[in-house]
Every structure is written in C-alpha cells, then in structure tokens.
Amino acid sequence: RCVAASASSPAAAAKATTEVPAQMKAWVYDAYGDASVLRLDGAAAVPAVGEDQVLVKVAAAALNPVDAKRRAGKFQATDSPLPTVPGYDMAGVVVKVGAQVKGFKEGDEVYGMISEKPLEGPKQSGSLAEYTAVEEKLLARKPTGLDFVQAASLPLAVQTANQGLERAGLGAGQSVLVLGGAGGVGSLTIQLAKQVYGASKVAATVSTPKLHLLKSIGADIAIDYTKENFEDLPEKYDVVIDAVGQGDKAVKVVKEGGSVVVLTGAVTPPGFRFVVTSNGSALEKLNPYLKSGKVKPVIDPKGPFPFSQVVEAFSYLETGRATGKVVISPI
C-alpha cells in the first residue's frame, strides 16, 4: 500500500519515502461497447514510470463524453490497444518521479489531463485507477483552495473552454454565445469568457431547471432552449461556442467576421472544429483564477460517485443531462 508522507510531519515530508505496490484497483474494459463492458480489476498492473513522467496516486477522477465515445469504439483507428483503463482527468499526489523530471517531487498535489491528445494514441492506463503515470509537461500544481474533487473536475473541460475561446479570438468587450451552458465545457466557457477574456456579454442556452445555475456563474443572458430557438432571436454574437452539436444553427447567429467553434457534431462553414490538447503550463496559467474563486468548478450534485460506482457514473454522464462535471472520488 502507498504510505504517503504526512503534511503534519516535516521530517516525513522531507524524506517522502513512498511504497508503491505492483498491483492496483482499476476500471478496465477488454472490448468496446456500452457501460456494461467496464469491470473493476483488483489486480491491474501499476503503470511503469517513464523518465519524463511522474506516478500519481489518484484521489479523484472526472468523466468526459470522450471517455464514453472512446469506450464505444468511436476512435478505434487511433486508440491505444485494449484492454483499456479509461479516464483522462485526475487530481492526486505524486508518489514517484522519473529521472528527467524537474518540476515535481514526491508529495506534490497535482492535477491534469493525462493524455496529450485524447483521440490520438491516448494512454492505455488511464485515470480511473489508483495510480496513473503522466508526463510532467501535462500536469499543473493543484490550486490552493481547491480540493481534489474540484481539481479533478477541471483539466479537459477547462482546457477545451480556454483553447476554444483562444482559437475563436475572443477579445475584451466582445460578445459570446455558448450552446450547452450547463455542461462541463459550457459552464467553464461562460466563466472564462467573462473572467479571463473580458467578454462584455455572455449568453448561453440551457433548459428551464438550470437557468439559475447560468446566472450564478456569470452568464448575462440565459436562453431557455425549451421555450425559444436561439437561432430565431435577433441578437448576433462575435463568437459562438457549440458544445451541443448544433453547428448548422450556430452559424446563423454569428456576426460577419466572427468565429464559430464546433466541439461536436457536423461542421458548417465558417464554423470550425478542434480537439483539445493537454498542456500543464497552460493549465497552470489558469490557477490564479481558480485560487481566487473567479472561475469556479461546477460539480454535478449527483456526485461525487464512489470508485465502486463508475458504471453508474458513466450511465449518468451518457444521459447528456449532467450539470457541470461528473466526478469519481474517493479512489
């Protein structure tokens, strides 16, 4: 078992001798399919640690729609070989460092998205496990003031939000419409647009029960999609971020010369799609906003799900109705 150095004991922290077992508990699938292909393996191999990697004792992990799409076999052509331990997002404690690692040491609390490119050769041994091995360049220090659940909820979604707004060229004083404002990506895109990019007007689509959530995270306009079609309203936006798959409608509400970022579904020009990449130093640049509470993690109130309930957590995520992030903790 892992014996983590205690923060309350400076001597122990200085030595930080951590025993790492050879085997661990991990969720695994041996074939592509629905959530029923997942099984809890009590004796999975703890991944080897490369020279540029650290081994993290995972405290919390988050699910993303890409985990479900990958599990369903949508990215088979570029996926890692089966069997797969799924999971991209995690927060935890460094228990071992590779020979070339400079920025982290044992005992550091970190968070990140463990594969640089989620669709191209993602790691076979993911974050839904007691341990995961990650390149140091993909990790950031856990922001002080955030617990492991909050930190684990962020990496893939907040980097998608940030890279989407960056690629769209959102500037201070501009307006943005977020399609899917209550989801993992949408709830962070609203906040980054306001707090980091200085947008003057942030609108988002949402269903009736979640209107109040959008206001609480700083949206200026919440459009109830069960009552109004956003594409029929007169307002046009400098930037539209589509986290729903409505690229055909999204292009109808962008100003001339504006940008439409389509995260999922068919792309209609001038809309464009990109796929998020993991970058620890870019994540680190967001830490001040997270520490200060200007940007707040949004955790689905049905969670966090305990590690034993990963199948239930996946099934819930796959309803498409999650609010903010579905987190697994403790692990």
By the rule CB under 6 A, 154 interacts with ligand NDP: no
Residue 165 and residue 176 in contact, taking contact as beta carbons nearer than 8 Å: yes
Where is 148: in which H helix or E strand? helix 148-152
For ligand NDP, which is the closer residue by CB, 46 or 260? 260
Query: Site mask, ligand NDP, residues 271-290, x = CB under 6 A?
Result: ----xx--------------
For ligand NDP, which is the closer residue by CB, 65 or 107? 65
Judged by CB under 6 A, which of 158, 182, 240, 253 binds ligand NDP? 182
Judged by CB under 6 A, which of 37, 151, 263, 327 binds ligand NDP? 263
Positions in 50-109 near ligand NDP (CB under 6 A): 64-66
Q: 249, exposed or middle or buried, with CB in 10 Å at 0-12, 13-18, 19+?
A: middle
Positions in 24-53 near ligand NDP (CB under 6 A): none
Radius of gyration of the chain (CA): 20
Judged by CB under 6 A, which of 84, 115, 150, 160 binds ligand NDP? 160
What six digits make up the tokens of 98? 């590779």
Judged by CB under 6 A, which of 180, 247, 280, 303 binds ligand NDP? 180
By the rule CB under 6 A, 264 interacts with ligand NDP: yes
The helix-helix angle for 155-168 and 184-195 (nearest 10°) equals: 50
Q: How far apart are CA 293 and CA 166, in angstroms?
A: 21
What six digits make up the tokens of 204? 């988002």
Using DSSP's 3-state secondary structure scheme, residue 240 falls into: strand
By the rule CB under 6 A, 183 interacts with ligand NDP: yes
69: Cα separation from own chain's centroid? 15
Q: How far apart are CA 84 and CA 221, in angstroms?
A: 41
By the rule CB under 6 A, 184 interacts with ligand NDP: yes
Q: Which residues bind ligand NDP (CB under 6 A)?
A: 64-66, 157, 160, 179-180, 182-186, 205-207, 210, 225, 243-244, 263-264, 275-276, 317, 320-323
